[in-house]
Amino acid sequence: MKKLLFVLLLMPLSVWGQTAFDGTWRVDLSKAQLPKKPDKYLLQNGTYKCESCAPAYQFKADGQDHKVTGHPYFDTLSVRVVNDKTVELTQKKNGEIVGTDKATVSDDGNQLVDEFTWQPEASNKPQSGKAASTRVAKGPADSHAISGSWRGEKLQDFSQDALIVTYKSTGDGLSMKAGTGESYDAKFDGKDYPFKGDPGVTSVSLKKINANTIEETDKRNGKVIVVSRITISPDGKTMKIDVDDKLHGTTSSFVASKP
C-alpha cells in the first residue's frame, strides 16, 4: 500500500485533476484580431486570379469547373460572375461540392462581404459564416469590382460547431476535439502526432511553456504551416489564441471562453 501511494504521488497532478485548458471553449468572433496583410484578387478580361492564395491560381471565370493543384481542401474551382458587383465561387473535391463563396462589393466599392460555406472532412454537417473586408487598394480601371486588395475587418454568423473546441489533459499532454470533428492527442514533448480530420494539417506537436500557456505547431507533410500560442487567463475564464500563419505570412488572434 505504501509503495502504491508513493507511485501515485509521483504521477502528474493533471492525471487527477483538470488543468487550466480542460473543458469546452467557444470563440467570440467580436474579439477577433484579423490579419493586417490584405487579400488580393483580380477579375479582368474574363479571367479570375487569387494572388494571395497559397498557392496562387488563375483561370477563366466562366462558371465551369477548373482543375486546381496544391490545395488540400479542393481540386476544382469555378467562378461565376453574377453581376458587376457579385461573384460566386464553388469548390469541389472528387466531384463533390465542399465549399461555396458569394462575394459582394458594396455600392460605393469600399466594402466586400463574403458569405461562405464549407464541408469539414471530419463531419457530415456543413458549416457557414460571413466575413467583411475593407478595400485598401483598387484594381485596374477596366476590372470587376472585386479586383484589388482587401483587409479583413469582421467575422460573423458562423455555425456554432465551427466556434467550439474541447481540451482534455492526458497527464503528459493534451487531447483536442473541435466542434467540427477534427482532433488530436499529443504529448508535451515536441514530437509530431497525427492530426485527424483535416486534410490541410497532417501532424501536430505541443510544447508546454508554463501552466497556462502551450505552443502548438501544425504541419502539412512535414512542413510547418501554423504556429499557435494558446494562453489561459489567470482567472481561468478566457483563452487567447495567437496564430502565426506561416503559409500565408499573416498573424491573427482570437479569444474564447467557456459557455
Domain assignment present for 7: no
124 and 21 inside one domain: no
Domain hosting 128: range is: 39-159
What's the pTM value of the predicted model, to 2 decimals? 0.90
Across 201-228, average pLDDT: 97
Quote the number of domains for the chain: 2
C-alpha distances in angstroms, 70 versus 50, 57, 78? 14, 10, 16
Domain assignment present for 69: yes
Q: State how far Cα 150 lies from the chain centre.
A: 18
Q: 239-258 pLDDT, tens per residue?
A: 999 999 999 999 999 999 99
Q: Does pLDDT of 18 surpass 90?
A: no
Q: Looking at residue 109, what is its pLDDT? A: 97
- Which burial class, exposed, middle or buried, applies to 221 when counting CB atoms under 10 A from its CB (0-12, 13-18, 19+)? exposed
Cα dihedral angle (221, 93, 176, 190), rounded to 10 degrees?
A: 10
DSSP secondary structure letter of residue 110: S
Domain assignment present for 4: no
197 and 151 inside one domain: no
Q: 105-162 pLDDT, tens per residue?
A: 999 999 999 999 999 999 989 999 999 999 999 999 999 999 999 999 999 999 999 9
Q: Looking at residue 158, what is its pLDDT? A: 97
45 and 154 inside one domain: yes
* Percentage of residues of the chain with pLDDT beyond 70: 93
User: How many other CB atoms are found less than 10 A from the CB of residue 5?
Assistant: 9
Domain with residue 247: its CATH number is 2.40.128.20
- Rounded Cα distance, 230 and 239, in Å: 7
Q: 221-239 pLDDT, tens per residue?
A: 999 999 999 999 999 999 9
Q: Looking at residue 9, what is its pLDDT? A: 33
238 and 249 inside one domain: yes
